[in-house]
Amino acid sequence: MHDEKIYQSLIRNIAELSGMPANELTPETGLIGNESVLDSRGLVELMLAIEEFLEDDFGTKFDWVSDSAMSSSRSNFRSIGTLYDMVREQVGK
């Protein structure tokens, strides 16, 4: 149940911030680098939306700062799928 709620929240927020239809967003959709559907401001706004969502719905803090955060090859933000995995892991803590 939490998994679907998390995924739908990500898709809804990314669609709103990118202007893309939600049905065109997939786990492989890029969030950083040349393939990104978001600009840098959109990415920050997405992180703030996730932070609020996790605090309100799960009572947990979202830790979105890491050494590899903006590395295009290792970042948890490189795609919707990698971000989803990161958020799901934090909810499970």
pLDDT digits (tens, 9 = 90+) for 1-58: 689 999 999 999 999 999 999 999 999 999 988 889 999 999 999 999 999 999 999 9
Domains of the chain: 2-92 (1.10.1200.10)
Task: Give the dihedral sign, CA 14/16/18/19.
Answer: positive
Task: Give the dihedral sign, CA 33/37/43/47.
Answer: negative
- Residues whose CB falls within 8 Å of the CB of residue 48, separated by 6 or more in sequence, listed in order: none
Please check the confidence at residue 67 and state whether its pLDDT lies above 90. Answer: no
Question: Which tokens hold the place of 8?
Answer: 């739908």
